[in-house]
Amino acid sequence: MAHVADKKGLVLARIPGTSVPLAHTIFGASAFILAFIIGCYGHYYKIVKNGVAGYPEEWFPSVSATTGDWFPERNICQIFIALTSGPRLMLCYLWYLLIVRNVPANGSKGFAKFLLGNDVLRTIACGGWVYVTSSDDHDIHDIAMMVYLVCTIPHVVGTIKTAPQNARSQWYRRLFAYTFFGALIPMIYFFIQHNIHRIPGAYTYYAFFEWSLIISDLAFDAVNLIDFETFEFRIVDVGMAGKQGGNGAALNGLKTYGGSEGGLAATLGSIKPFELVSFVSDVYLGFVFWSMLTALPLMIWYFPLWHMGISGYEAFLFCNFTAGLLGIGFLRRSIESAKGFVHLLSLVGVLSYKIEDPALRLMAVAAGVSLSLLTWGATLFEQRHQNGRAERGVLTLALGLLLHNVVKQAWWANNPIWPIMNENTGGQNMVGLVLGVLASVQVMLRKEPGADEPKVIQSAHGESWFLAALGAGGYLFCLHSMFTDSTTISRWSLGGYPNTGPQPVPGGLMVVAAIATGLTLSSKRRWVTSLLWWAIGTGGLAVLHFIEGDVGFAGGIVFTVWALSLFPVLFRSLTRQPPGRTFLVTMLVYNIMALAHVWVVAYAFVPAGEAMRERTDYVLIAMQTLLLLGVFNSNSTAWKNVSEARSQAVSSASFSAARLYSKLTLVGLVLSSIGICYQRMPKSAPQPHHPEHKLITAGIWTIHFAIDNDMYNSELRMRDAIRDLELDVVGLLESDLQRMIMGNRDLTQFLSEDLNMYADYGPGPTKHTWGCTMLSKFPIKRSTHHLLPSPKGELACAIHATLDVYGKEVDVIVSHNGQEEDLLDRQLQTAELGRIMRESDNPFLFLGYVVTKPGKGEEIYELLMDSGRMHDIEVSDWDRWCEYLAFRGVKRVGYARVSHGGITDTEIQIGKYQLLENHPTSWDRSQSLQAFKKEEKYTQIPEDKVPMGLRFPAMFYGKGVRNHHYHVFDRPYYYV
């Protein structure tokens, strides 16, 4: 190639622009084509075989089996993907330059940066699922694949939106986009047919659509060959003189393409340590606000829980009405000018963990919530005339919410500074208090950023204060109920095994990333306030509510991104209104929605409960309507009136600094979430305690929402009891904590991870039960979540699971039936449990809560035992009322009752069973009830006749340990 002279130096080479997308297409296609050919030639029967069937039912291999399971096709694919990565990253950067060259015709610089970051993350995720195969680490492979698919949505939409107006290329892009997303629906259908219904041959059809995704994906990016026909790359030797003389031109060119002078070094160099500390202090105080706000209903719940009805302490929910005092001008201005001191006073809510009396502790938290709410309200309202400061306030409050999620993720869905935590329950209250004091002092001592900036009067003309209050009240409820814990979305989408949807790890990471994405998109105000965007978010919520498993969770991710993108819009709209009446109505709407959220499940214990029984859909419709009104109000003519003010805000120094620090904080929090999830990944498979005896130790315990009798968190004490009792399977009742009144907690993830057990959460929050959970040392092969018949009283839940116990299938039911007052409910529920147990041919264990007296003549008891063809573990134990253990097809070894130890008001009941080869494990359906009952004969034996591995722990004799001891008959029973 000839070398020619250029004004800036010697041109060494001219390379056509199509070379980059061409290399990307060739290398990418080769990776999969060669792997497919080599795989079919060398391992055809192996790569078409799956966990359901093999050839001839399955005859076409999936992408993962072709590229990830066997040498050499796996390695060929990985080599060519490595070769593809260079052109792929170059393509990402070139597209970024293409956008910024034509701003604003093709979009904004901010969107170009977002798209660049998204595409780089997408490229890295591709490497994740290619180089970490499902056989290496199934979780990491699936996480990378889901990140790749999620990032594909903005990649496709953003590319089409910002592409040059070339009719031919745009037609091809839309075609391949439709084929890509269109293939997802049948692909998911056939995956469900394969994975859940286990239909032979379904995976072959799934594989066709999976390969079509690869083809559409590569073809979509290959369309760049059309757009890059007019590009040319030049390699120029500028020489020393050219380099020195060309600095100015080079910098000018860099600026033209949307870069920043000095790049990352200049960005980091612009960080001022004192400003950064100030910003972090505000974020932490935002975290404290969300911590106290979420602690309040959790602590209120303690009182009606023990009263079994309205207690009077519910009135503390309305402590937020003090926000109406912001209508008093001098008070509002005084709070804003002394906000550091008021923040300091509000820390009484954090300090309250030292107060032992539950009622006084609740009062202190209510005072903290009131003071914090007043401070944040006054801050945002008084700073509304200084756009940089107001935007900064909204950003730090939003980041405080994200920090709240990440911190709870690190503490297994508990907040370490909640007043239900202390030194004995894993809390870090004193650390949180000290940080709060330091942040408050920093606010008191600093000069407010942006204080010297000229004031810009914002008019609220065209906006309605009432609609702004309705929208903000609905939005505060939305944030509190759905986004104050990273596992809420995954628990809402919960299904039975194997289609459970994502577990807290990695599901929580995806939610944190979605929150960060939503906050990033929030700057696109015209878009986020559009009716189309509202419709997309509402559609995601509908999918989350009505569909279980991975599809429901995907809808939840869409809803999360949408909801968090509204944060600045709705809160800034709120601060443009008269503060007194606006904040008062906002809190009233929030409280009404919060009560409705409780009424849908607590209907049996509250006035007029039947009106809201199981009507979460009503609550969600009301919430989305309120948000629509708020969005509509924010998207009114008021935006025209404040456009000039906004432009001045964007140019203000404090606003620019706040945006920079917020981006750094977002990145830091997402990286922290990744580290937390990695740390929490299981390191080994669960193992039963005594496999040498083929022993199953199973228990049932009603744990009252993991709040002990003194209103402290009880998960650590529960963990210790389950561990010391050597339980292999345990049913936990009243365990659904994913509601505002339970703090959006999740005891299941802590217990399962710390005890190294498999977990089935049971019916999720949308099923309107108090919840039941099963933990197991044995793998869960499949499970079904049941809502038992409940025409009158509270809804009863049950888990019917099939476990892999020493190579054999054993069925387990964990159930929580209705109360004494509703006889019809208890009859129908117990009859349904009997049907489930009677129709199973597997060995069966029953671990449940059934309100009845034991013995002959008791209708409910006989329905359970006789109709279900089950044996009571100890017929002579007359001193039972609600918890029962029953079995069939296993050998009864031992039975014990252990006191609750102050954790709840209900004991632990435990049975020991053996799964033996010479013991009948199934029953004859034609067998009469009388013949079945004859099998129940047993003999009690003393403990010294029992092998050590089959005995209950000796530590629970006498006074026991941690107030847990054998009680009622003060010792275990053993049988032969």
SS (H, E, C) 293-348: HHHHHHHHHHHHHHHCCCCCHHHHHHHHHHHHHHHCHHHHHHHHHCHHHHHHHHCH
For residue 42, what are its two tokens?
């060398």
Burial class of residue 83 in the structure, from the number of CB atoms within 10 Å of its CB (0-12 exposed, 13-18 middle, 19+ buried): middle
Whether the link from the prior residue into 297 is cis, omega within 30° of 0, is no
What does the DSSP assignment read for 603-644?
GGGSTTGGGGTT-HHHHHHHHHHHHHHHHHHHTSTHHHHHHH
The residue among 63, 53, 78 whose CA lies nearest residue 131 is 78
Can you name the residues that pair with 940 across neighbouring β-strands?
975
Calculate what percentage of the chain has a pLDDT beyond 90: 58
pLDDT at 251: 25
**In the predicted structure, residue 416 carries a pLDDT above the cut 90:** yes
Q: Which residues are catalytic?
A: 816
Residue 13 — very low, low, confident or very high, per pLDDT cuts 50/70/90?
low
Calculate what percentage of the chain has a pLDDT beyond 70: 90
Helix 202-222 / helix 19-47 crossing angle, nearest 10 deg: 170
Q: Does 897 or 90 have the greater pLDDT score?
A: 897
| Section 441-449 average pLDDT | 81
Q: Of 711-720, 814-823, 930-939, give the range with the top mean pLDDT.
A: 711-720
Q: Does 476 or 103 have the greater pLDDT score?
A: 476
Q: pTM score > 0.75 for this model?
A: yes
| Section 144-169 average pLDDT | 83
End-to-end CA distance of the chain: 92
The backbone torsions φ and ψ at residue 475, rounded to the nearest 5 degrees and listed phi first, read -75, -40
pLDDT at 106: 57
pLDDT at 344: 95
pLDDT at 162: 81
The residue among 458, 447, 396 whose CA lies nearest residue 649 is 458
Q: Does 733 or 573 have the greater pLDDT score?
A: 733
Contact yes or no for 431/284 (Cβ under 8 A)? no
**In the predicted structure, residue 759 carries a pLDDT above the cut 60:** yes
pLDDT at 143: 82
| Cβ-Cβ contacts under 8 Å for 489 (sequence gap 6 or more) | 482, 507, 511, 544, 553, 556, 557, 559, 560
**In the predicted structure, residue 256 carries a pLDDT above the cut 50:** no
| Section 673-693 average pLDDT | 93
Count Cβ atoms below 10 Å from residue 568 Cβ, excluding itself. 21
**In the predicted structure, residue 471 carries a pLDDT above the cut 90:** yes
Taking every pair of Cα atoms in the chain, the longest distance, rounded to a whole number of angstroms, is 105
Count of alpha carbons within 13 angstroms of residue 315, beta-carbon side: 5
Alpha-carbon distance 221 to 27, whole Å? 13
Report the mean per-residue pLDDT for the chain: 87
pLDDT at 652: 56
| Section 798-821 average pLDDT | 95
Does the CA dihedral 134-137-139-140 come out positive or negative?
A: negative
pLDDT at 259: 36
**In the predicted structure, residue 46 carries a pLDDT above the cut 80:** yes
**In the predicted structure, residue 574 carries a pLDDT above the cut 70:** yes
Alpha-carbon distance 699 to 814, whole Å? 10
**In the predicted structure, residue 691 carries a pLDDT above the cut 50:** yes
Q: What is the four-CA torsion angle of 494, 495, 497, 502, rounded to 10 degrees?
A: -40
**In the predicted structure, residue 234 carries a pLDDT above the cut 90:** no
Can you name the residues that pair with 787 across neighbouring β-strands?
797
pLDDT at 929: 82
**In the predicted structure, residue 237 carries a pLDDT above the cut 90:** no
Q: Does 700 or 64 have the greater pLDDT score?
A: 700
Q: Does 286 or 29 have the greater pLDDT score?
A: 286
pLDDT at 859: 93
**In the predicted structure, residue 154 carries a pLDDT above the cut 60:** yes
pLDDT at 821: 85
For residue 852, what are its two tokens?
């009845």
Render pLDDT for 343-379 as a digit per residue (tens, 0 to 9): 999 999 999 999 999 999 999 999 999 999 999 999 8
| Section 120-131 average pLDDT | 87
Q: Of 278-292, 304-318, 514-528, 916-930, give the range with the top mean pLDDT.
A: 278-292
pLDDT at 934: 78
Q: How many whole angstroms from its chain centre is CA 351?
A: 29
Does the CA dihedral 35-38-41-46 come out positive or negative?
A: negative
Alpha-carbon distance 526 to 559, whole Å? 18
20-24, 117-121, 964-968: least confident range: 20-24
Helix 531-546 / helix 616-634 crossing angle, nearest 10 deg: 170
The residue among 340, 319, 338, 321 whose CA lies nearest residue 330 is 338
**In the predicted structure, residue 8 carries a pLDDT above the cut 70:** no
pLDDT at 239: 59
Alpha-carbon distance 781 to 79, whole Å? 37
For residue 547, what are its two tokens?
């569909």
Q: Of 305-314, 632-641, 844-853, give the range with the top mean pLDDT.
A: 844-853
Q: Is 908 helix (H, G, I), strand (E, B) or coil?
A: strand
The residue among 789, 869, 794 whose CA lies nearest residue 830 is 789
Q: Is 671 helix (H, G, I), strand (E, B) or coil?
A: helix
62-66, 99-103, 301-305, 409-413: least confident range: 99-103
